[in-house]
Amino acid sequence: MDLRFDPELSTFRSEVRAFIAANLPPDIAHRGWHDYHAYRPDIQRWTEILCKQGWSAPHWPVEYGGTGWSPIQNFIWHEELRLAGAPVHDRSSLELVGPVIYTFGTQQQKDYFLPKILSGEHWWCQGFSEPGSGSDLARLRTRADVDGDHYVVNGQKTWTSEAHWADWIFTLVRTDQEVKPQAGISFLLIDMKSEGLTRRPIWSIDEGLTLNETFFDNVRVPKENLVGEAGKGWGYAKFLLTNERTMSAEVPHSKRDIVQLKRIAAQTMKNGKPLSDDPIFRSKIAKAEIDVTALEWAVLRLLFAKGEHAETAVASVVKTRGAELRQTLAELSAQALGDHGIAMTPDPESEHVMRSDGLAPPIMEEGVGIVSKAIFRRATTIYGGTNEIQRTLIAKTVLGL
């Protein structure tokens, strides 16, 4: 056991910090710090810059365009991105479908799709959930029937995050109606421009747009867009969801939120003094920071873990805790804002705003985006598998109950 950080890591941190400072356009950083929903033009511009440096998917294997950085280096990279206000990258592509394609895809799929993800040319969304199958994903009903060289897809997906920006959607579809639910599922890649594919935006309670419904009406998909083997889609999805859960601890983001919370508390007043001097509020910030530290060390253990023992369950531990902390931090930041902490403040720069009535308060710069975030983060304990599902997973796989 050696619980010291390798001194070379601080050199690495300085290097990536300097790169970000020199290359992240200030207007993107400004919007990124507000932390509203994904804004493709900003993410795409930033991805192009990173791609030139060879850093747009650092965690990927080197042969597919990764950097060969260690897991802890990738973690530091994310910390520096969040602290600099870099926009949260296109997670569906980089964390979810990319690894599925390079692990299970054909050479042709790798050659076609991976470079376009690295360059930011392709943006992906995830088509898993359906109106009748959320937590019970295995009962999905969207079907894909073989017709010559094609699958014909019919059905409906929902909660398709960022579908309004996406070029492609990766889906779980039922290709075999006869076998057990999990065994009949396949992993199919579908062009969003396909005929018969339509989309409806779903406004969320922060009055922002990230969710969509996606409808498939006799959508013809070339058979070569099947990933791996037909009927094995459930296994690929489990691989992908474990990646999603590990990422969803979101420690770098929460550490950034602590920085922002402290800045807000230093700038807002309570009875003639900064709120950060108030003993009650100060101890709340301290508690949040301690909670994030505990989660950070849980994630560090995961990053340095050797072997794959109960990996899924450990991912569920950090996902559950991380999702709850993200909610606490955003609500605490809203509380720090005081009266404007309950004001509706839709993204002032977004083209996707449910209602543009100009009725936003004269809010302090550091507080822009906070309230929307506090409201939207009720979703963190729902998406990627609800916290109830995660706890059941922990009970079954670790505790053997």
Q: Which is nearer to other proteins, 110 or 378 (CB)?
A: 378
Least CB distance from residue 199 to other proteins, whole Å? 15
Q: Mention every residue, 6+ apart, whose C-beta is less than 8 A from residue 79.
A: 13, 251, 252, 255, 256
* Cα 367 from Cα 312, distance rounded (Å): 36
β-strands 269-270, 273-274 pairing: antiparallel
β-strands 124-127, 168-174 pairing: parallel
Least CB distance from residue 376 to other proteins, whole Å? 8
Give, as one character, the DSSP assignment of residue 399.
S
Q: Which is nearer to other proteins, 120 or 367 (CB)?
A: 367
Please answer whether residues 182 and 138 qualify as being in contact, where contact means their C-beta atoms are separated by less than 8 angstroms: yes
Least CB distance from residue 374 to other proteins, whole Å? 8
Locate 50 and state its tokens. Answer: 């990173």
CA angle (79 as vertex; 78, 84 as ends), nearest 5: 95
Q: Mention every residue, 6+ apart, whose C-beta is less than 8 A from residue 278.
A: 270
Options 79, 95, 244, 250, the catalytic residue: 244
Q: Which is nearer to other proteins, 62 or 354 (CB)?
A: 354
Least CB distance from residue 273 to other proteins, whole Å? 9
Q: Which of 373, 380, 363 is nearest to 324 (CA)?
A: 380
Q: Mention every residue, 6+ apart, whose C-beta is less than 8 A from residue 4.
A: none
Q: Which is nearer to other proteins, 240 or 375 (CB)?
A: 375
Least CB distance from residue 270 to other proteins, whole Å? 5
DSSP lists the bridge partners of residue 226 as 188
Q: State the residue for tokens 């991805």.
A: 47
Evaluate the CA torsion angle 235, 236, 242, 245 in order and state its sign: negative
- 244 noted as active-site residue: yes
Q: Which is nearer to other proteins, 136 or 224 (CB)?
A: 136
Task: Summarize as ranges the residues that interact with other proteins (CB under 8 A).
Answer: 129, 132-136, 139, 158-159, 202-205, 207, 211, 268-272, 275, 280-281, 284, 327, 335, 338-344, 354-355, 357, 359-362, 371, 374-376, 378-379, 381-383, 386-388, 391-392
Q: Which is nearer to other proteins, 130 or 296 (CB)?
A: 130
Least CB distance from residue 226 to other proteins, whole Å? 27
Q: Which is nearer to other proteins, 255 or 373 (CB)?
A: 373
* Cα 222 from Cα 260, distance rounded (Å): 47
Least CB distance from residue 392 to other proteins, whole Å? 7
* Cα 272 from Cα 282, distance rounded (Å): 16
Q: Going along 256-322, which residue ranges are E strands?
A: 269-270, 273-274
Q: 238-266: buried (b, 16+ CB within 10 Å) or exposed (e) per residue?
A: eebbbbbbbbbbbbbbbbbbbebbbbbbe
Q: Which residues are catalytic?
A: 244
